[in-house]
Amino acid sequence: MEHLERSGYVRSDPVRHAMGSVRRELFVPTSVQRAAYADHPLEIGHHQTISAPHMVAIMVEAMRCSEGQRVLEVGGGLGYHAAVIAHVVGPTGHVFTVERIEALARRARDNLEAAGLSDRVTVVVGDGSCGWPEHAPYDRISVACAAPRLSETMVDNLSEDGMLLIPVGSPYMQELTRVTRKGNRTTVERLGGCIFVPLVGKCGQ
Ligand code: SAH
């Protein structure tokens, strides 16, 4: 945590508080427990990884979330990132996280329950590559896997002044991309290079 602040990844009080409140060891497999707080990605099985803490901090800061917001996460994994977002949006907000691998989604639910967050985060199983219209609109959408391009239907899931954060590029190298919607207009910003596992599915790789 100190390292995340010193390096400038954690810059705001809500994110500092959220990252400090979520016990990462509850969200990583027992096989990598000892590395739970190391600042690098960890294997979670099924050829997937949980992002390094600094990447979660960068993304949650870049999303500029506030209390009471409804957030969609695509790529729920074991639920760690969703838990951090849930702390930022607080008890009046809600996080919906979509995970395509059922076994991971089940474990994410258990982890979120153990962290006391099951009423603030809903884990759904399915393909979220084009968004998840069922609970739209969302104030924020955070994608934790790499998309080949921006999906228009995903952008349509945003509220009128919503924001989408998504790694866009090839399976090996992407650019973290922020899309800000103001009514019918959207602004696209590139925030820097990153590497995520591929977003697979209808609008995926
Ligand atoms: N945010 C997670 C880590 C995500 S790893 C955590 O904190 O633990 C990326 C995840 O995206 C993987 O679990 C992968 O199965 C999932 N994924 C890939 N394509 C997807 C899709 N189309 N819909 C939903 N999940 C997807």
What does the pLDDT look like over 56-89, one tens digit per residue? 999 999 999 999 999 999 999 999 999 999 999 9
Crossing angle of helices 102-114 and 80-89, rounded to 10°: 50
Ligand 1 centroid, distance to 163 Cα (angstroms): 19
Position 203 scores a pLDDT of 97
Position 152 scores a pLDDT of 95
Ligand 1 centroid, distance to 98 Cα (angstroms): 8
Ligand 1 centroid, distance to 55 Cα (angstroms): 15
Looking from the CA of residue 203, the nearest atom of ligand 1 is: 22
Q: Can you tell me the distance from the alpha carbon of 148 to that of 127, in angstroms, rounded to the nearest whole number? A: 15
> What residue ranges in the chain does DSSP mark as E strands?
42-45, 48-50, 70-74, 94-99, 121-125, 138-143, 158-169, 174-182, 185-194
142 among known catalytic residues: no
The string of pLDDT tens digits covering residues 125-180 is 999 999 999 999 999 999 999 999 999 999 999 999 999 999 999 989 999 999 99
Residue 80 CB less than 6 A away from ligand 1: yes
Residue 24 CB less than 6 A away from ligand 1: no
Dihedral over Cα of 25, 28, 34, 37: its sign: negative
CATH topology for 2-194 is Rossmann fold (3.40.50)
Residues counted in the chain: 205
Token code pair at residue 138 = 């969302």
Average pLDDT, the chain: 96
Q: What is the DSSP-derived secondary structure letter of residue 91?
A: T
HSE-CB at 202 with a 13 A cutoff on CA atoms is 11
The string of pLDDT tens digits covering residues 179-205 is 999 999 999 999 999 999 999 999 999
Residue 145 CB less than 6 A away from ligand 1: yes
Element (H, E) at 59: helix 53-63
Domain locations in the chain?
A: 2-194
Query: Do the bridges between strand 42-45 and strand 48-50 make them parallel or antiparallel, or are there none, so unpaired?
Result: antiparallel
For the chain, the C-alpha Rg in angstroms (whole number) is 15
Residue of 51, 129, 142, 151 with catalytic role: 51
pLDDT band per the 50, 70, 90 thresholds, residue 1: confident
What does pTM read for this prediction? 0.97
Looking from the CA of residue 104, the nearest atom of ligand 1 is: 13
Position 28 scores a pLDDT of 95
Ligand 1 centroid, distance to 48 Cα (angstroms): 7
Position 2 scores a pLDDT of 85
Position 18 scores a pLDDT of 97
The string of pLDDT tens digits covering residues 29-52 is 999 999 999 999 999 999 999 999
